[in-house]
Each structure stands twice: as structure tokens, then as C-alpha cells.
A and B are shown apart, each in its own frame.
Chain A
Amino acid sequence: MKRYNPTAKNNDNGTGNGAVVIATPPVITPVAAVGAGPLKKLSFGGIAKKKEDTKTAYPLVPDPHGQLAEMATRIITRTAELDALTGALETDKKELRCLTTPFYFENAHGKQDVASSVAVSSPEGEVLVTFQNRYKSLPDENSVLPVLGDNVGAYFRQSFELKIEGDKLPLDSADELLAKLQALFAEHNATDALSVKECVKPVPDFHAKRHLVLTVEQNLALDEAYPIVAMIKTKGRK
């Protein structure tokens, strides 16, 4: 069956936009339409249907002068304003982070001691974009493989969590220890009691190594797949 593929060159059906309609478009039922079933019904158009109130009713605090209601109104209004402002601020911060990241990697490239922040100056004062030596864990290495390829082992290591701290096991005997642990649980028919949480973490010197060894382009590509934890700071920078 022929399907719509925007990258294929032979899609055009004369519309000029490359669109091929295969599926029959579903019929849209207009809002005002009334069902033509066996039972004749009146249409109440725009009148809202009464709904069962599902909200729990709590005892109401007496408020004879309306003082509490005023405060409640203020809280609701300001919470809405705060949410709106917080959202807008988050978007601005994310954009600033995106736009300053190439400079950060260019500036840090090949350096042993890397500045933790880059500064953006404005008439209102200075804003710092801080790229900390802080990274989250990854569920697996698949997202960073296209950038690091066979070298992935030099930058990332497996981490896991049983009820014991996997990171603190000696690397050379970890396999044997875990095999014994599993055998021990199996011997007691308790395999189900053992669960493991696996992830992939950067090696301890990842932050320094990436700036020294990887190119700016590799670091930018890596940042897309595995973003460095960045913060925007304004305090004390006026």
C-alpha cells in the first residue's frame, strides 16, 4: 500500500504539496447536530448540562466580613500570575542555555581547568550560565553511541543497584560476587526477591576528559543526547 512519505519524491498527486490521500477522511459531526435515533429528543444547544458535583465538600470557615475571601482571591490570582511568570522564565532560561552552549564548549576545548560558567552581560546586570560537573544517569548507552562509538567505555560505565551499593564493589570480582549472590538466592528459591536497577553513568573524570579529548562538535552532539546540568544564576551579579 502506498503511504504518505514526505521524503519520497514521487508523492505528488497534483496538489503540489506531495500529499497523497489514502485513507478516507472521517466525517466530522458538527456541534449542533442532533442524533437521528428512534427516540425523538429536543436539542438544548448551548445550555450546559448539569453535572454531578464530584468535589468533596469541606466545612466552610465563617467569614462575615469577606476578609478571608479577599485573601483567597489574592492567593488564587497571584498563584496564576506566578505560574505564568515561572513558565516564561523557564523558556527564557532554556533558550539562553541553548544559545550559550556552543561558546561554552569552544571556550573549554583543550583546557584542563575549565571555567564553570559563562557570563552574559546586560544593562540590568550579569547573568551566569553555569555548566556544572554534574550529570544525570542514563538508562543505557544507546543515545550516546552515535557520538562516542567504540570509545563509549572510556566515558561511561555501567552502574547498578541491588540492595547493596554496586558502585562500591571491586570491579575485578564483581561478576563472581553477583553470580554467587544469584546462586545463593536461587538455592533458597528466592530469585524473585532479588531485583536490580541498572543505568549508565559517566566515569569520574568525564567532565575534564570531554573538554580535553572530544572536539567541540562532538561535545555539542553529546550535549544533545546527554545534556550537562546547567543553571542560570542572577544573584549577586549586578
Chain B
Amino acid sequence: MTHPLTCPTYPVRPINGGPFDKAPRKTGLWFYEPKYNGWRALVHIATGTMFNRRGERLSIESEFAQALGLLRCTLSAEAFEWADCEALERRHGIGRGTLIVLDVIPKDAKWTYEERRSWITPAVLPVLYPSCKPHDDALFQSARFDSKLAADYWRLLPTYNQHFGCPFYEGLVAKRADSKYPMQLRSPAEEFPFWVKHRWAF
């Protein structure tokens, strides 16, 4: 008897850190990524099955067929098993059917954010640089920058939104370098304090 595929964890839900320019300085090593305006999705790499942030199967999987195909032939399902992605669709006209890989979830939960992200080099997955508008049905990894550049991007991203003509970016997400991916199926609402979102509209 085969069991239906279920996701091993809910995707990490960052805590609300308020506007970046009001936030106290963070201790330890943190990296920053743009916060994209899309749907959070966990992708089972071997099968291309997508789940939403509540752990439910996504009904719009077929709209990402091309990006899923790229993902499946780029990352080893054996090593990574799951990819934590932002799925671009419907909310705005940019990058329809495109997936942005935010993180990978290997079987062994001992790896830190910095280690996990260092595996997906730009040679493996192209980086979606913030000034670039993604085209449809593509696959990228999220841009990542250190805390020195975070303030600059906090100011710059709204200007890119103006160029794009839509709220493609919502702010920044800070991720602590030594944090492990919190595997939990207790609640999709459970927040993880080592990922912090800073949004312009709060």
C-alpha cells in the first residue's frame, strides 16, 4: 500500500520585525533576502509535488510545470529532497509560473542556513538579482546579501517596484546564518524568531 505524499514540515514562518529602519541592530551573523510577493510553496523535488504553507497540496501545480521540470533536473532529490520556494502567480503580472528557491530542506536537519545556501551556488541556480524582472516559467534562487547592504536594499527595492509597476517586493527577510531549518508539523502559524521579516506595509 502506498501512502499519499505529505510534507515533512510547514515552511518557516518569519516573525514580524517591523520596518527595517526602526529595528534594533541584530546580534550574530545574519543574511538578508528580498521578500517577494508570491505564494509560499514547498516542493518535493523528486515528484515536483507542491504544497502550500498550510501543508496542503497546491492545485495550481500544472502552472509551474516548466519551472518544476528545471528544478527536478537541477537539484538532486536524494540530497535535498525538498525545496522551499516562492511561487509567482496571479498576484501581479511578473514572472508567472516562475519559482524562486529560498532554501533547501535536506533529510538531515543539522545544516545551518549558511551551509544550505552555500550549496546552491549561482552556477547551479541563477540568482534573481533585485533589479531584474524575472520572466515567466523560470527558475531562480533568491538574492542574498549581508547586513551591510541591507539598508541600501531597504531603500532600493521600492524603486524597483516603481519600475516594475507593481508591489513585487514587500520588504526584506533577515535569516540568521547559524539557524537550522525548524522541522515542525505542530502548526503552520508557528513563527521562527531566527527569520525576521521587515515590511514597508505592516
Which A residues are within 8 Å of any B CB, using their own CB?
A: 1, 3-8, 15, 17, 19-23, 25-31, 45-46, 48-49, 51, 79-88, 90-95, 136-140, 143, 224-225
Q: Is residue B65 within 8 Å, beta carbon to beta carbon, of the partner chain?
A: no
B76 touches A94 (CB 8 A): no
A148 to B12, CA, bound (A): 25
Evaluate contact between A138 and B186: CB separation under 8 angstroms: yes
Q: Which residues of B contact A (CB under 8 A)?
A: 15-19, 22-24, 26-28, 70, 73-79, 109, 119, 121, 123-126, 128-129, 131-135, 138-140, 159-160, 162-165, 176, 183-187, 191, 193-194, 196, 198, 202
Please determine whether B132 and A19 come into contact, CB atoms closer than 8 angstroms.
no
Interface of A is mostly: loop
Is A29 in contact with B74, judged by CB distance below 8 angstroms? no
The reply to whether B123 and A21 form a contact with Cβ atoms under 8 Å apart is yes
Q: Taking the nearest CB of chain A, how far is it from the CB of B174, in angstroms?
A: 9
Please tell me if the beta carbons of A26 and B186 are within 8 angstroms of each other in the complex.
Answer: no
Task: Show 9 A/B contacts (Cβ-Cβ < 8 Å), sorted by A.
Answer: A4-B76, A4-B119, A17-B121, A19-B121, A20-B124, A21-B123, A28-B126, A31-B164, A88-B24
Distance, CA A192 to CA B10, complexed state (A): 28
Contact between chains at B24 and A31 (CB < 8 Å): no
Q: Residues of A contacting B27 with CB < 8 Å? A: 92, 95
Residue of B nearest to A6 (CB): B119
A92 proximity list for chain B (CB < 8 A): 27
A4 touches B193 (CB 8 A): no
User: Least Cβ distance of A15 to chain B in Å?
Assistant: 6
> Across the interface, do B73 and A88 meet the contact criterion of CB distance under 8 Å?
no
Cα-based distance from A125 to B185 in the complex (angstroms): 37
